[in-house]
Structure 1
Amino acid sequence: MLSWKSGMTPRIQAKTFAGGSLRSAFLQASPALALGLHAWTRAARLRGLRRFASAEGTSGGMKAVTVSKYGDATQVMEITDVEKPTPAAGQVLVKNVAIATNPIDYKAAAGVLAPGAEAPDKRLIVGWDSAGVVEKAGEGVTDFQAGDNVWFAGDITKDGCFAEYTAIDARLISKKPESMSFEDAAALPLTFQTAWEGLVEQMNVQKGKTIFVLNGAGGLGSIVIQLVFRSLETSATFFEC
């Protein structure tokens, strides 16, 4: 058993809270993620991050990573020219600056979300974690405007963020903290949401309790340990040498 020490400086700049539940601690540390975003998957594990690097799309279009048939992600994912989306009522159009990759991305490409199907009904744009800049707000959107820096985990039933632009429900995005880079912001949504679901919605962890994190590695494990340590001040992880 190895105690998690404060010398292991976390990358998120959260506070140490004197009391209360993990829910209250999380709301103060990251109210946007706690209140504004939906968790569409519990599959987040190791994290990978890269900028979406491609030439500009064709006139009136954009570049995107798409899947036309299910299979090995390394074989079926391809960069193609697609139509640039237009935000519908209640949506915003985001120019993606940085994206994160998750296991759900290659699983979606493999057809895990559509058992028995050989191909999606229409070409699928994968990817759900992103940070970018609002280009246009759709009708009825009042909380965001062009130029806002935002981050989000998208809707798994809609086109994803492995593209130059994403049209997304305004309820699923939040303004990016000024203290965070686009890359850091894109790496957090699914792991934070998964940690929130497990610790708060499922376990209702309270201060004064002891929690053990088994195999606390990768994106999810590291976030769980940081949140628990900063709110409960009692966290440990088992490991094998």
Structure 2
Amino acid sequence: MDAFDALIAPEDLPRARTNHQRRLAGEETEQRYPLRLMRKSGRMLWAETSGVRINWNGRPATLNIVNDITARKAAEDSIRHLAHHDPLTGLPNRVLLQDRLERALASAQRNGTSLAMLFIDLDGFKPVNDRYGHDTGDALLQAVAKRLRGTLRHSDTAARIGGDEFVVLLPVLAETQDAGLIAAKLRTAIASPFEIDGHRITISASIGLALYPRDGDTASELMRTADGAMYADKRQHAV
């Protein structure tokens, strides 16, 4: 195994060695399992390996068969990504947002901390679509997503849940008022003019805020409260 060991990614080496030793001992092992192998160039490939115990010059040995499954892994990763991300903006979708929110709530309940949800609806997006077309509208949504990512912390999540609606999850708050400060930063970022397809486009955002535990202790309660607060914010701007 020494020569083969040198090709195996360090994270997968214990698994490979365990299977090799068990196979040599005649014990039951994984029939097939994936490994990451390193090329001489430094690039990684995915391989599926299987093996059998044999006698080699009177000594126990293993005969291993290794198949390159890099393309299959890439296809699986792509399918997994599409299942959890918005195809237009690349942001997490509603499914991934729900998962992260449930995890954040469990952590907050366990540690006695606060979290926040921001429901964002773009004001003035429909006229942009009507005037410049859907391609420009799509490019604007992509630009908004980029600004959201650029404004938020690494631990935060910005998700697109449909149309011109976004939700931001703030899973860690040092102070509850930090959520309002972040909402203000997002509002300013979105209000700054966009240059899209040669057009200077200005939109704004209505933002609703919900805090755990103040506004609810379940994902559905927080989403409902944030959604209602967003519509209240929209009505206030319309006055």
* TM-score, normalised via structure 1 length: 0.20
Which one has a bigger Cα radius of gyration? Answer: 2
User: Which one has more relative contact order, counting CA pairs under 8 Å at least 6 apart?
Assistant: 1
* TM-score, normalised via structure 2 length: 0.20
